[in-house]
């Protein structure tokens, strides 16, 4: 048995998930330690401080929901808050609820080991600290492990290079520099539109164009903020009932029932003008499942691109043609396509001619074409969903690691619990709902609290999801995925199917049944007495 000091629970991470867990563990009366690799709270919003980082969810839905007073006292400055504003909010929440006393900063958990004799976890950090706990709760987020292609020659590059999700805290001066950006996902798009006016020249290396929708971000007026507070309860209800947990009502109409294409286009025009994900979600309710509707919506976006971008060759390169809307996660832009009308911006299509290597002065493509740069920015994504937990070096029953367990893909009951890893609860684990994260976290933490309520009431020391429950959840995630058009994007490497990292198992990494559907599954599990979990008091005999 480990001699390490003992607490009831260890929480890994102090982003939205870890912070919300502190509130729940306090309710349960459990002692805790919270370990955070960063020097401040924020998680994703602490690390992703690249130029232009902001949410893609409207501010009034991108927040904690556990305390109405908190919601009513906070004023968001913009429709889609910037990284500094989200970070400010999270610091405020940490202070308001006196969370720092539970958190150890600058301590990255680099190992967790389950002891079957005691049913305790020993958790180790990179500062050399060890602690044992009954309950291990991870709040690592889906996107905590950056992915960067292994390009030869990077060491020889004479300029500076940066990775967006590991952006330095110190200011990076790009003024007057020739900058290359690799990657045009949600991150790359925000970087590109933000730095283009500052740099001397920007070269964008695009492999797959995306359906970038206009965010139409704007400052919120006092009047708008007062309205949002007045509508607090309605917004909360909308959020938890919305398929992607956005604070909006569904369209309540099916595109498949609108037989005239011109009528459909008029509907899409309104959604496009409203901005943000309203284009997908307040126009029709079947854009992601009906091929005709999706085709018309996709061509609508391509026509917008053609109308905005003056050079027809560049416009065509920016038009996504190889996946449906939803086949990759659509980014939000704010004058993104307009950026390509600037004389200091060049678009390079690396789909037919990939980046082959980095040279001392820039990048060389497979064809031999060379592009000079003073700065290279990798906006190349993440080893998403499984990466953060798998890389945490988690050893469950029989010393089996999560990384080994997931070689053929995860099987997490409700996207929270993996059989063979007792007393471990993963907030935002793989196979959780594909929806705005703060509301998902709210519901998952509430659910974990209910599981622990029962375990504590029963005196259970070992709580483990069953392999059958995990397999059934995976089968359901698969079935739902294949009811949508999403798998048609697989060849374009969506990260939520494990397709963006070479060699990674491609599998269903998200539950696409919607937020309300997910909440119903959590309620069913709770009301049924947690049939997907085995709860045992005594250690399992050898
Ligand atoms: O990562 P991505 P991301 N050569 O994987 C390209 C969330 N997010 O960080 O598409 C050339 O989407 C790759 O090309 P391709 C959001 O959920 C949220 O942008 O594989 N290119 C792609 O263009 C989002 O979906 C917000 O062909 C290479 C890009 O790199 C998720 O994070 C803001 C390459 C990676 O795109 C991930 O977005 C930002 C190579 N060798 C992000 N390798 C907000 O809500 C990769 N690429 C605020």
From first to last of its 542 residues, what are the pLDDT tens digits of the chain?
Answer: 567 789 999 999 999 999 999 999 999 999 999 999 999 999 999 999 999 999 999 999 999 999 999 999 999 999 999 999 999 999 999 999 999 999 999 999 999 999 999 999 999 999 999 999 999 999 999 999 999 999 999 999 999 999 999 999 999 999 999 999 999 999 999 999 999 999 999 999 999 999 999 999 999 999 999 999 999 999 999 999 999 999 999 999 999 999 999 999 999 999 999 999 999 999 999 999 999 999 999 999 999 999 999 999 999 999 999 999 999 999 999 999 999 999 999 999 999 999 999 999 999 999 999 999 999 999 999 999 999 999 999 999 999 999 999 999 999 999 999 999 999 999 999 999 999 999 999 999 999 999 999 999 999 999 999 999 999 999 999 999 999 999 999 999 999 999 999 999 999 999 999 999 999 999 999 999 999 999 998 655 55
Q: Which residue has the least CA distance to atom 21 on ligand 1?
A: 183
Distance CA 3, CA 170 (A): 40
361 phi/psi in degrees, rounded to 5: -110, 0
Give the mutation target among 80, 183, 428, 494 for probing the ligand 1 site: most ligand atoms within 8 A of CB. Answer: 183
* Residue 11: strand, helix, or coil: strand
Contact in structure between 51 and 191 (CB atoms under 8 Å): yes
Ligand 1 binding pocket includes 9 (Cβ within 6 Å): no
Q: 301 near 181, Cβ under 8 Å?
A: no
CA of 381 to the centre of ligand 1 (A): 4
Which of 57, 83, 148, 207 most suits a substitution to test ligand 1, by most atoms within 8 Å of the C-beta? 207
Record the pTM. 0.97
Q: Looking at the chain, which residues constitute the CATH 3.50.50.60 domain(s)?
A: 6-145+384-528
Query: For residues 398 and 115, what is the distance between their CA atoms, to the nearest angstrom?
Result: 9
Distance 492 CA to ligand 1 centre (A): 11
Give ∠ CA 300-305-308 in degrees, rounded to 5.
125
**Helix, strand, or coil here: 540?**
coil
Q: 495 C-alpha to center of ligand 1: Å? A: 8
User: Strand, helix or coil at 265?
Assistant: helix
Q: Whose CA is nearest to atom 20 of ligand 1?
A: 493
Buried-state track 395-422, b at ≥16 Cβ within 10 A, e below 16: bbeeeebbbebbeebbbbbbbbbbbbbb
Q: Please give the Cα distance from 64 to 437 (Å, whole number).
A: 10
The architecture in CATH of the region 6-145+384-528 reads: 3-Layer(bba) Sandwich (3.50)
Query: Which of 386, 56, 410 is closest to 244 using CA atoms?
Result: 56
For ligand 1, atom 11: residue with the closest CA = 207
Report CA Rg, the chain.
Answer: 23
The residue whose two tokens read 């594909």 is 434
Of 381, 428, 491, 496, best ligand 1 pocket probe by most atoms within 8 Å of the beta carbon: 381
Q: Is 492 helix (H, G, I), strand (E, B) or coil?
A: helix
């Amino acid at each position: 048995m480990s001699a390490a000091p003992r607490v009831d629970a260890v929480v890994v991470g102090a982003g939205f998930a870890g912070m919300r867990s502190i509130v729940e563990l306090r309710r349960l009366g459990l002692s805790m330690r919270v370990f955070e690799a960063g020097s401040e709270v924020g998680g994703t919003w602490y690390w992703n401080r690249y130029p232009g980082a902001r949410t893609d969810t409207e501010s009034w839905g991108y927040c904690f929901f556990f305390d109405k007073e908190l919601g009513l006292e906070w004023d968001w400055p913009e429709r889609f808050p910037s990284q500094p504003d989200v970070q400010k909010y999270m610091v405020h929440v940490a202070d308001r609820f006196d969370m720092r006393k539970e958190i150890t900063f600058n301590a990255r958990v680099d190992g967790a080991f389950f002891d079957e004799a005691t049913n305790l976890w020993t958790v180790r950090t990179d500062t050399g600290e060890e602690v044992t706990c009954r309950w291990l709760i991870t709040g690592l987020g889906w996107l905590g492990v950056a992915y960067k292609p292994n390009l030869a020659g990077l060491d020889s590059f004479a300029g500076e290079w940066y990775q967006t999700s590991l952006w330095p805290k110190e200011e990076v001066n790009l003024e007057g520099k020739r900058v290359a950006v690799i990657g045009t996902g949600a991150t790359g798009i925000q970087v590109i539109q933000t730095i283009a006016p500052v740099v001397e020249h920007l070269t964008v290396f695009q492999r797959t164009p995306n359906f970038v929708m206009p965010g139409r971000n704007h400052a919120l007026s006092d009047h708008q903020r007062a309205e949002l507070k007045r509508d607090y309860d309605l917004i909360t209800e909308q959020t938890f009932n919305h398929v992607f947990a956005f604070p909006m009502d569904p369209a309540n109409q099916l595109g498949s029932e609108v037989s005239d294409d011109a009528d459909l286009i008029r509907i899409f025009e309104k959604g496009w003008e409203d901005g943000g994900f309203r284009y997908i979600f307040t126009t029709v309710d079947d854009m992601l499942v009906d091929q005709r509707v999706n085709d018309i919506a996709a061509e609508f976006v391509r026509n917008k691109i053609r109308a905005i971008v003056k050079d027809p060759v560049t416009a065509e390169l920016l038009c996504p043609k190889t996946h449906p809307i939803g086949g990759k996660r659509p980014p939000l832009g704010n004058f993104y396509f307009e950026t390509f009308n600037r004389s200091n911006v060049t678009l390079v299509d690396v789909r037919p001619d990939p980046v082959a290597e980095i040279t001392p002065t820039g990048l060389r493509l497979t064809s031999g074409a060379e592009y000079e740069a003073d700065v290279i920015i990798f906006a190349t994504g993440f080893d998403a969903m499984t990466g953060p937990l798998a890389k945490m070096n988690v050893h469950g029953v029989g010393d089996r690691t999560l990384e080994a367990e997931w070689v053929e893909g995860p099987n997490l009951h409700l996207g929270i619990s993996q059989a063979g890893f007792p007393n471990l609860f993963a907030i935002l684990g793989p196979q959780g709902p594909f929806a705005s994260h703060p509301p998902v976290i709210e519901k998952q933490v509430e659910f974990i609290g209910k599981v622990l309520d029962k375990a504590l009431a029963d005196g259970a020391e070992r709580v483990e999801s069953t392999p059958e429950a995990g397999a059934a959840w995976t089968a359901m995630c698969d079935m739902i995925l294949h009811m949508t058009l999403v798998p048609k994007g697989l060849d374009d490497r969506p990260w939520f199917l494990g397709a963006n990292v070479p060699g990674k198992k491609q599998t269903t990494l998200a539950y696409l049944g919607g937020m309300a559907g997910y909440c119903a599954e959590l309620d069913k599990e709770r009301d049924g007495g947690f049939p997907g979990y085995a709860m045992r008091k005594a250690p399992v005999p050898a």
